[in-house]
Amino acid sequence: MRSALPIWRRPRTQLWALALLLWVGVLTVAVAAWGILLPFVLAALAAYVIDPVIARLTRLRVAGRRIPRWGAVVAVYLALAGLTWLGTVSIVPQVYREAMRALLQFRDFLASVTPERVDAWAAEIDAFLQRYGVPLDVGRNGGGGRFTVDLAAGIAEAIRETSASIRAQVMDVVQLSRAVLAGTFRILFFAVLLFMLTAFISMDAPRIKRWFESLVPEAWRPDFRRLLHGIDTGLAGVVRGQITIMMVNGVLTLAGLLLLGVPYAFALSALATILYVVPLFGTILSSVPIVLLALGSGGLPLGLAALGWILLIHGLETYVLNPKIMGDASRIHPVLIVLALVLGERLYGIVGALLAVPVASVFVAIFRFLHRKLAELDELATAPAAVAPAVSAAHDGPPEEESRP
């Protein structure tokens, strides 16, 4: 009999062992060839983002017939192309002009930082610290039992290193031009490849999902669908929800900066919108230049007003947008977010930091599914013991009834 065979000689066991070895090999190749697979991963993520819009379009009817999936993909791409063109001709030039003007002013500011000016700043800081009894001296010559920090030497060293780095980068104009051209070509090639892969994946998304489901044994497919539903719920909040909140925060930041009169409002809002992609750290990094520029242009009142507006936006995000858009099922503990960001950045740089939170949401969804499945198994294991007395009482009767098969 088949059950008498050792477990390692049973055909089903051998088949599962072979499938496990194949998946281990696939994962090993995926980790080793991460740089090559990166466009495919980003394309799958982009296809996942636009899939709800495509699914809704396929349910519409035109002339009594439903829109085919390829037609819905083409319509979404045309809409995205129109929005990109509108942003390119209306917003991007303004952002570019402000960014260039800010860089020129920063260059002029660095050129104006003389040793005498640094000494004057240090004297003002020393007077402020002494006024409030802080035992710290930032001048060149400390004394009187106070801690001493040579601010002038530190600023001079930082400026010297920055200038040397800039000169090293622009020393060879021909080499710099070649690097710029090569980088532009790589970016264009990567963008075209990403758009093509996203279109292909979007068109065949249902077929790809059915193929992955066919790899799972039929008895496990209900649990597999539950797991996919949990992963989809988590990713919908982390990816789609984060993109929605990012756009809302960017618009609110631009409106507030224009209303307050903070300089370089478009450039700062564009920077804040991009940095909002990275949770927690993006919020902090985008707030620093806004507050500093507000302080430099309008003094303490404008700086406090800009800080208050930023805190208001973050409060709206935390208490209104996150619960409504992302939901409870997609929430990840901040400690886990920080851990994922640090690991992603350390292993794969900026791209790893961008993909860290979506990957963490997948692991959280798998953990939640396993936790619920374990609870269900525990309930099934304890259910017979709980109903045993009732079953035995129900079957108490004449001996001939108990002995029936």
Distance CA 164, CA 159 (A): 9
Distance CA 119, CA 126 (A): 10
Q: What b/e sequence results for 133-147 when a residue is b if at least 16 CB atoms lie within 10 Å of its CB, and e otherwise?
A: eeeebbbeebeeebe
pLDDT at 388: 47
Provide the 8-state DSSP code for 65.
E
pLDDT at 401: 42
pLDDT at 212: 82
pLDDT at 398: 46
Cα dihedral 114, 120, 122, 124, rounded to 10, equals -150
pLDDT at 393: 47
pLDDT at 255: 92
pLDDT at 162: 66
| DSSP result, 114-152 | -HHHHHHHHHHHHHHHHHTT--EE-SSS--TT-EE--HH
pLDDT at 42: 85
Global pTM reads 0.65
pLDDT at 145: 47
Determine how β-strand 65-66 pairs with β-strand 136-137.
unpaired
Beta bridge partners of 61: 66
- Within 10 angstroms of residue 170's Cβ, the number of other Cβ atoms is 10
**Plot region of 63 (φ>0 → left; ψ -120 to 50 → alpha; else → beta):** left
Domain-wise residue ranges, the chain: 34-109+172-215, 113-168, 219-378
Distance CA 330, CA 338 (A): 16
pLDDT at 139: 61
pLDDT at 159: 67
pLDDT under 50: residue ranges of the chain: 1-2, 145, 171, 386-388, 390-405
